């Protein structure tokens, strides 16, 4: 038996890119930066950033494309894999990639679309990825909390 699951909370490094397969399935790709602080050999604190390529499919892909933008904080669960590729100089490179299974949009937005408190996270500010996006407010959010 084996198990492959990863959970991250980070910020989008670029706007999501939405495309459709020939069969009509939505696919959304974006990158997420996860920050960590570690001490170096001299004892000084250093910020360490790990980048992940994230892919969601179908309704979650459409929702991610609709509600996420560069810099937005997001919670992602999925399966971790590595993708190997060759850069312009012919060097083999590896990318950490997540095939997403669950997503939560974090942070608050004001009516003008900007963060009212970028350090505060609130999963109730955005609908969950599993909610019906028919234009109806979720039961947890009031009319003032709806992002559209």
Please report which confidence band the pLDDT of residue 108 belongs to, taking 50, 70 and 90 as the band edges. low
pLDDT tens digits, 6-50: 999 999 999 999 999 999 999 999 999 999 999 989 999 999 999
The H helix count followed by the E strand count for the chain is 1, 6
The vertex-106 CA angle with 26 and 14, nearest 5°, equals: 55
6-136 belongs to which CATH class? mainly beta
Under a CB-based contact definition with an 8 Å cutoff, are residues 78 and 61 in contact? Answer: no
- 24-33, 37-46, 97-106, 130-139: least confident range: 130-139
Burial per residue of 20-56, b for 16 or more beta-carbon CB atoms within 10 angstroms, e otherwise = eeeeeebbbbbbbeeeeeeeeeeeeeeeeeeebbbbb
Q: Report the percent of the chain where pLDDT is more than 70.
A: 72
pTM of whole model > 0.75? no
The answer to whether the CB of 57 falls within 8 A of the CB of 29 is no
- Band of pLDDT at residue 137, cut at 50, 70 and 90: very low
Question: With bands split at pLDDT 50, 70 and 90, how would you rate the model's confidence at 110?
Answer: very low
- How, if at all, do strands 26-39 and 45-57 pair? antiparallel
Phi and psi angles of residue 97, each rounded to the nearest 5 degrees, phi first? -120, 140
Asked if residue 124 has pLDDT above 90, the reply is: no
Provide, for the chain, the percentages of residues in helix, strand and coil under a 3-state DSSP scheme, each rounded to the nearest 5: 10, 45, 45
Which range of 75-79, 92-96, 107-111 scores highest in mean pLDDT? It is: 75-79
Alpha helix (H) ranges present in 2-145?
58-67
Instruction: Give 72-89 pLDDT, tens digit per residue.
Output: 999 999 999 999 989 999
pLDDT of 144 strictly over 50: no
- Dihedral sign computed on CA atoms, order 68, 71, 72, 73: positive
């Amino acid at each position: 038996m084996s198990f492959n699951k990863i959970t991250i909370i980070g910020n989008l490094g670029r706007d999501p890119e939405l495309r459709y397969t020939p069969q009509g399935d939505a696919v959304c790709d974006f990158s997420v930066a996860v920050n960590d602080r570690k001490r170096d050999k001299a004892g000084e604190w250093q910020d360490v950033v790990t980048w992940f390529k994230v892919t969601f499919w179908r309704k979650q892909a459409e929702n991610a494309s609709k509600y996420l933008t560069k810099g937005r904080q997001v919670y992602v669960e999925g399966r971790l894999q590595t993708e190997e590729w060759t850069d312009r100089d012919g060097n083999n490179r590896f990318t950490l990639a997540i095939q997403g299974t669950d997503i939560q949009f974090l942070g608050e937005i004001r009516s003008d679309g900007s963060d009212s408190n970028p350090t505060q996270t609130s999963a109730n500010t955005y609908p969950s990825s599993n909610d019906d996006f028919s234009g109806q407010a979720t039961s947890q959010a009031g009319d003032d909390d709806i992002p559209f």
